Amino acid sequence: MRLLRRRHMPLRLAMVGCAFVLFLFLLHRDVSSREEATEKPWLKSLVSRKDHVLDLMLEAMNNLRDSMPKLQIRAPEAQQTLFSINQSCLPGFYTPAELKPFWERPPQDPNAPGADGKAFQKS
């Protein structure tokens, strides 16, 4: 009667859990031994067909993987460019001609309204 007390609840739960796991283990062992004894030849042919189909599927997946474009996983590599010897600047620097804008800006009047941070005059 001591086992029915409330403070022994974790112990009872552990014992029931162990008994359940032992029951499952014995049931699994019994079923697997029966299956080995009752194997039939047609079952073996099904297994070989299943293996053949599985091999075909794996081969198809490998072919599909080979046909996909390759993704670059590491950092992109800088392309090697050939530099001519007669350049006036080092690679990565710009010459004044390269820095010149495509269109020249028109000259601005420093006394015009809004120039040099001055407010517009309303008339």
Instruction: Kindly report, residue by residue over 97-109, the tens digit of the pLDDT.
Output: 888 888 888 888 8
CA atoms of 107 and 63, how far apart (whole Å):
66
Q: Is residue 32 part of a domain?
A: yes
With H, G, I as helix, E, B as strand and everything else as coil, classify residue 6. helix
pLDDT score of 25: 92
Which residues, in sequence order, are CB contacts of 11 under 8 Å at separation 6+? 3
Q: How confident is the model at residue 2 (pLDDT cuts 50, 70, 90)?
A: low
Please answer whether residues 115 and 121 qualify as being in contact, where contact means their C-beta atoms are separated by less than 8 angstroms: no
Q: How confident is the model at residue 82 (pLDDT cuts 50, 70, 90)?
A: low
CA atoms of 49 and 42, how far apart (whole Å):
11
Q: Is residue 85 part of a domain?
A: no
pLDDT score of 83: 58
Q: Is residue 51 part of a domain?
A: yes
3-class DSSP string for 28-53: HHHHHHHHHHCCCHHHHHHHHHHHHH
CA atoms of 97 and 88, how far apart (whole Å):
11
The range of the structural domain enclosing residue 38 comes to 8-65
Q: Is residue 70 part of a domain?
A: no
The verdict on pTM exceeding 0.95 is no
Q: Is residue 42 part of a domain?
A: yes
Q: Is residue 74 part of a domain?
A: no
Question: With 70 as the cut, is the pLDDT of residue 89 above it?
Answer: no
Provide the number of structural domains found in the chain.
Answer: 1
Q: Is residue 122 part of a domain?
A: no
Cα 90 to its chain centre, rounded Å, is 40
Q: Is residue 75 part of a domain?
A: no
Phi, psi (degrees; rounded to nearest 5) at 41: -65, -35
Please answer whether residues 27 and 35 qualify as being in contact, where contact means their C-beta atoms are separated by less than 8 angstroms: no
Question: With 60 as the cut, is the pLDDT of residue 24 above it?
Answer: yes
pLDDT score of 38: 65
